[in-house]
Every structure is written in structure tokens, then in C-alpha cells.
Structure 1
Amino acid sequence: MSIFFTLLGKIIPLYISIILGFLSTYILKCDKETVAKILLYLLSPLIIFNAALNVNLSASILFLPIFFFLFSSILSFILLAYFKRVYSDNTANLLAFSTSTGNTGNIGIPLAILFLEPRMVDVFIFTVLASLLYQNSVGYYITAKGNFSAKQSLLKMLKLPVLYAFILGIICNLLEIKLPEVFENYNEYLKGAYTVFGMMIVGMGLEHIRTNGSFDMKFISYAMFIKFILWPVVVLAFIFIDKTYIHFLNDGLYTVMFLFSIVPLAGNTVTVATLLNVKPQMMSVALFISTVISLFYIPLILYWYMN
């Protein structure tokens, strides 16, 4: 069990940042939108650019974002068809969208920095593009058939600076253009800043949670089951098949895939719920519960995976 406590010790500082984010909003009245803009328009594009620039491109690495984008898209349509039988309103759309993705950015990247070797961190960040594309294309289409057209969703995706940072990084990678060595340390500073701010904004988003009338056991149970059980089971099944029969990926990429599958619910699901006025407080409670569960769930399941 010493490995478990080692893993737990690594993840606790991340949750201290969540508490600091909560306190900065609750006590200091800091503006969450400003931090969100720093993450979206400055840190995220730089992080994605460096990952796309430095990753060793191969068919197996390119496969990861394609796999997770297709998996999230297919899963969301399957869940939507199922939840339409459970809910009579577009709560079904919100639940299908939110459980088909995860917080691979604000929580996933800090976890990757902690648990993966530097070379695989870039691969993980590279794979995060799958979540960004899903959330701003198929995800938005599913959650907002009556609020956004497919064209509006596409235009929103095209406004994402991380998309162009990714394309520029890939082009520079293919042309073998490298940044001067002086920027190597700066890249590590960027990752550190993203780790702190990314976790803080999770806490800042929890300040307005009100549990009164928002604790829907059925909604929360569905969300927790899909995110913490279905996701890793499907990914583990794929890993087993590939490792036994196909031999396309390697152990390092398996770890990236597994880490990708065990992050909690994505923070922007609350934004979508607020925008659509579909029980945003209930979505906030579900997000909070999944974040708390992940404090123990992630080191426990990583301990199991490593053994």
C-alpha cells in the first residue's frame, strides 16, 4: 500500500490548489472569468503548441486523439438514445454530453505532469485535443439542438486558439523547426502555471454551488457510473485486445490512455448547463462530487493498474 499513499501524496497538492481557487473566489472575490481567459487564450495554446512541436509523431501517437474523439462521439449518441427514454427534457442531452468527455485539461494535464515521464506528458497533452474538438463540435451539437445550429457549433470551434496552436505546432514539427534552448525551461514554467491555474479554476467554479434541491441521485449515479466505471472498463478492454492480438501501441501509450479515461467530469459542463438553463446547480453538484471522488479514486485505480 506504500505505492498508493505515494500516489495519494502526489495528488493532494493538486487539491490544495482547488481549495485555494475556492477561497480566492469566496473570500477575495477574484474573477473566475479572468483566470478562464488566461487558461483558454494564453496558457492552453502555448501548452498545446509545445506538445505538438515536441511530440515524436508516429501512427500510434496520431491514433490516440482520433480514437478518443471517435469514442466520445459514438458514446454520446448511444447515451443520448438511452437517456431520451429516461428523461423527457434535454437533461438527457446534457447528461449524454457531460459523461462522454472528462476534465482532461484542467485536471488531466496536471495529473500527467505528476505521473508520466516528460516524453509521455507531451503525448497526453497532444491527445487532449480530442476532448477539445469533441466538446466544441459533437458535444455542443448534442446538448443544444434547439439552441445552436451545426454551423454555429462549427464557428465556435473555429474560434478556439488551441486549434491553431495545434496546427502550427504540427507544421513546425513536420518541418523540424525547433525552439531555441532558452525556451525549454520556460516550457516547464508554463506547465507549472497551467497546473496551478487549471486546478484553481475548478475550485473557483465550486463557489456558487447550492445543494438545496440540486441533489438528484439518479442523475449523479448515472454520471458517476459512466465516468468512473464505464470509461476505464472500455479503455482497459481495448488495451487488452491490442496487447493480446494487435500490438499497435506500447505500454507508455496504454498508460496515457488509461489516465485519460479516469479523470472526473469536465468543468465546462456547468457552463453548458447554465447556458441552456438545464439544471445547472444539479450539474454543479455532480461535478463537485466527481472531483471529490477522484481524490481517492485516481490514486487507488492507478495503484491497481500499476500492479
Structure 2
Amino acid sequence: MTYFSYTFINVILPIFIIITAGAVLNTAFHLDIKSLTKLQFYILMPSMLFLKVYQSELSSQVITITITVSLIVILLIVGISLLIAKIRGYSKSESSVFINSSTYFNAGNYSLPLIQLLFEDPIAVSIQAIILMAHNIAFFTVGIFTAGSGNRSTKDALLYILKMPLLYVMALAAILKSSGIVIPQPIIDPLTILSSGYMAVALLTLGAQLSETKFLLTNTRLYLSSFVRLLVSPAIAYLIVSLMGVQGILARVIVVAFGAPTAVNVVLSSIELDNEPEFASQAVFTSTVLSMITINLVIMAAFALIPA
């Protein structure tokens, strides 16, 4: 099976089936998208991230390298996206969503299954879990601030970050893990149930939002965002791992992971903050469709350029 058909059948198709279900449900029943978003931000996502951090089995060295490389790449993409937005004269709200849609990727319900299927190695999946953690640290600080600053003051954007539970949840999980504290099973079990529901609800919410979105195929900002997200981002990741001397499965996972399409969280934050949710939805949909082609190019390049 080729990379293209493999990725389409095992990753893209399941994602689009759930997105379509969300669109059909919203068309039929007019779902409360705001409530779905709050459910994810305050219950499902914190549960998922807590378990990912607490259950990670990687060495401290690998974790440190993964987080360091991920944050460097993310900050570089933020800088590049900001420069493009300045050059093209985007408004404050347009710039904020453009930066987020170009920078933050679907590290959970796209990259995780892709890495699991591609490498068939638990180490690779654990590395991706740490990338997910680093990605969310960046998103729920820099990303939320960027989204909030699109139509809020700097002070209000900062206050909004402090209200988000994600950073506190990940910090608590890291403290408990490093302290060797065993969490009782009656607490782990409900967290596991809630965590398993995140992916489905996130994609259903995206489908619901897409069903209310008008697509403008001539929107240059949309294609620029996808170009940076799908091709520039993994190229920068490859450059950073090469400069830092990172090799093998760790380098390959990082490069492939950064080739994922725009994160659903970009849509959720845009809905929550009422900051261009239509463009954010279009960016997620467009980059996900285009990734059917681009992710295969990224995979082939990663395996060809990075020694095993």
C-alpha cells in the first residue's frame, strides 16, 4: 500500500466521516456549538492531556529534546506568519487567526494515529504524546493570547489565558509523575473515559462549524496559511533537528508530526473568542484536504533524509 492510500484510508477518511456527521447533525438539529466548545476546553481536553503527561514513559533526555525542538519550531513559525501578515497588510483580527492557523497543528487526532500506524513502535507514539504536550503548552499560552488579542486588549487576553485549566492540569500531572505518586484507579477510569471522548467531540464540533461556514475559494490568506502549515513547518522542523544533531526515530517523528494540518483547537478558540471562526474553520478543512498529498511528501522526505 502506498503512503497516499495508507494515509487516506487509515487517517483522513475516518476524520472526514466524523466531520461529516457533525455537519449533518448541526443541519438537522442546530447544535449549540459554543456549549460543545466549552465542554472540550474545560472537561475533555484537560482529561486527555493529564493522562498523556502522567502516563508518558520516555526518558527525561528525550522529553527535554522533544519539547525544546517543538517549541523552537513553533516560535519560528509564529515569527514567519507574523512577518507574512505584516507584509500583506492583514488587520489585527485577520493576523491573529492567520498566525494560529499557520502555526498550530492537529497533534492529537491526526498526528497520533498517523505516527502509530506509520512507525508501529510505542516509542514513536510516546514521542508524539510529548510533542502534543509541547504543542498545547504553546497553544494555550502564545496561541490563546494571539487569538484573544485579535479583538481584545492585551490585559484581557492575558487574563483569559490564566482562566484556562490546561496549563494547570499539565503541571499537576508532571508533578504527580515526577513525585512517583500513584493515582487511584477510580480516578484514572473516569479520566480515561473523558479522554477517549475528546477526539470525537472535537471533530463533530468542527463539522458543525463547517456546516455554517461560507467558503471563499479565492481567499489567498487561506492558501498561504496552508502552505506555511503543511510545507514550511516540517521543513523548519527538519532544519532544527539537523542543526541540533537529532537523528533516528525521534527526528523522523518530529518532522512528520509538524506536517499535520491546522489544529481543531484553532477553530474552538476562534469560536470561544468570537474571532473569525469562519476563516479558522476553512483553514482546518482546507489544510486537512491538502494534507492528503503533502503529508506523503513529508513522510518520504523524512525517511529519505534522516538516517534510521
1:101 maps to: 104
Cα distance in 1 between the residues matched to 2:145 and 2:44: 26
Unaligned runs of 5+ in 2: none
Choose 48-57 or 297-306, whichever is displaced more: 297-306
After the TM superposition, which residues 1-307 of structure 1 pair with which residues of structure 2 at under 5 Å, given as runs?
A: 1-2=1-2, 4-11=4-11, 12-55=13-56, 56-87=58-89, 89-90=91-92, 91-112=94-115, 114-115=117-118, 117-143=121-147, 145=149, 147-180=151-184, 189-190=193-194, 192-211=196-215, 214-242=216-244, 246=245, 249=246, 251-270=248-267, 280-298=277-295, 301-302=298-299, 305-306=302-303
Report if the CA contact (8 A) 1:215-1:282 is conserved. no
Report if the CA contact (8 A) 2:48-2:195 is conserved. yes
Cα distance in 2 between the residues matched to 1:190 and 1:271: 18
Counterparts in 2 of 1:115 and 1:44: CA distance versus 1, 3 Å: farther
The percent of aligned pairs where both chains have the same amino acid is: 22
Cα shift readout 1:186-224 (whole Å, capped 9, x = no counterpart): 77655542332233222222111112xx33442122112
Counterparts in 2 of 1:257 and 1:49: CA distance versus 1, 3 Å: same
Cα distance in 2 between the residues matched to 1:121 and 1:14: 19
Counterparts in 2 of 1:184 and 1:296: CA distance versus 1, 3 Å: farther
- Using the TM superposition, give the Cα deviation of residue 101 of structure 1 relative to its aligned residue in structure 2, in angstroms: 1.7
Cα distance in 1 between the residues matched to 2:116 and 2:31: 27
Cα shift readout 1:150-201 (whole Å, capped 9, x = no counterpart): 4333322222222122111111111112345687777765554233223322
Q: TM-score, normalised by structure 2?
A: 0.80
Counterpart of 1:34 in 2: which secondary structure? helix
Report if the CA contact (8 A) 2:234-2:298 is conserved. no
Choose 145-154 or 202-211, whichever is displaced more: 145-154
Amino acid at match of 1:285: Q
Report if the CA contact (8 A) 2:97-2:276 is conserved. no
- Using the TM superposition, give the Cα deviation of residue 120 of structure 1 relative to its aligned residue in structure 2, in angstroms: 4.0
Superposition RMSD in Å: 3.3
Cα distance in 2 between the residues matched to 1:27 and 1:42: 26
The alignment of Structure 1 onto Structure 2 pairs a total of residues equal to 300
Report if the CA contact (8 A) 1:50-1:187 is conserved. yes
Q: TM-score, normalised by structure 1?
A: 0.80
Report if the CA contact (8 A) 1:209-1:285 is conserved. yes
Cα distance in 2 between the residues matched to 1:119 and 1:184: 22
Amino acid at match of 2:249: G
Report if the CA contact (8 A) 2:266-2:280 is conserved. yes
Report if the CA contact (8 A) 2:73-2:236 is conserved. no
Counterparts in 2 of 1:111 and 1:155: CA distance versus 1, 3 Å: farther
- Using the TM superposition, give the Cα deviation of residue 118 of structure 1 relative to its aligned residue in structure 2, in angstroms: 4.2
Amino acid at match of 2:32: D
Cα distance in 2 between the residues matched to 1:190 and 1:250: 35
Choose 147-156 or 21-30, whichever is displaced more: 147-156
Cα distance in 1 between the residues matched to 2:122 and 2:202: 19
Amino acid at match of 1:80: L
Counterpart of 1:128 in 2: which secondary structure? helix
Counterparts in 2 of 1:301 and 1:199: CA distance versus 1, 3 Å: farther
- Using the TM superposition, give the Cα deviation of residue 3 of structure 1 relative to its aligned residue in structure 2, in angstroms: 5.1
Amino acid at match of 2:209: G
Counterparts in 2 of 1:49 and 1:272: CA distance versus 1, 3 Å: closer
Counterparts in 2 of 1:270 and 1:190: CA distance versus 1, 3 Å: closer
Cα distance in 1 between the residues matched to 2:191 and 2:297: 30
